Structure 1
Amino acid sequence: MNLSDLFSPDQPLLEMVVRGSVIYWFLLIVFRFVLRRDVGSMSMADLLFIVLVADASSNAMQGEYRSVTNGIALLGTLIGWNYLLDVLAYRFEKVAAFLEPPAEPLVRHGKFVTRTLRKQRITVEEVLAKLREEGIDDLSVIKIARLEGDGKVSVIRND
């Protein structure tokens, strides 16, 4: 390996600056004005979307596509699917249930729901740690603690 090759650009630097700028501003506008944001959470569809956008935008910026327009077309397709799924999930409960797993009980009336713990492969210690984060150190004060679709634990106390 020649060290001069390591620092010699294989594409014109101005082209890289233009590609990066176009994709940056396109994504900034999309994320700021087009996409819906969940209330403090990311769904699996959102995570998948971010991974795919990162890959597609990387190819568009690095010149894997012949034109920036190809990258924007691919990004637009991903954005369209993400938006459509959000709309369908909002309007149809079955679509929402398909895209987001339902909340499952971890603790009910002060007792662990071992079926859920086994199914989700969550240890008692992990649940206790999450409960301590909520300021709970005694299971008897819990009416129900659920593992939500976004992976967070929600707690309803007896009082």
Structure 2
Amino acid sequence: MSKRKRPVKKSGFVTSIKEYFEKNKSLTKFIGLYVFYILVFTIIYIVIKDDIQFTRDITATSLGIILNVLGIENYCTGSFVYLENMSLRVIDECTGIYEILVYASCVLAYSTTISKKMIGLAFGIPAILGINMVRLVSLSVVGVWNPDLFDYIHYYFWQVTLLIIIAIVVIVWIEQVVKK
């Protein structure tokens, strides 16, 4: 009587990860493309960083105009906004450029047509810039009216909120554009 050999079952963490990614090829493709776009955009940003001072100046000037409309006195020069009890320096992180890079990478990595990706960029980027300006205005108001809260609102509330908003903008784009 001969003994049957039982098939050897592979087990282990590495095998299960490999199987997971093989079963979820679209997710694997999205992650790979997302990382690729983030790297490309980061390299481009590093190369042109010194040439985009104007984005900081435009952001500061736009903030100053909006604050004036709201009745908050300020003075702008270059990338600085001077308020009655504080000054704000608009740096690259204040312009929304990083949020745009994250959002654009998500849209470009997502599996859909080029035209739907272009619609996503055309509507999502201005939305993110608008939300970023709301962030800057709210930080200015907090800085004038309750300076003790400024750091908390700046470093914690808005950092988390921006990530959530980017996710929401991506989801809205998928639901309203990609799936239709």
- TM-score of Structure 1 vs Structure 2, range by shorter chain: 0.3 to 0.5
Question: Please, what TM-score do these two structures have when normalized by structure 1?
Answer: 0.36
Name the structure with the higher strand share: 1
Name the structure with the higher helix share: 2
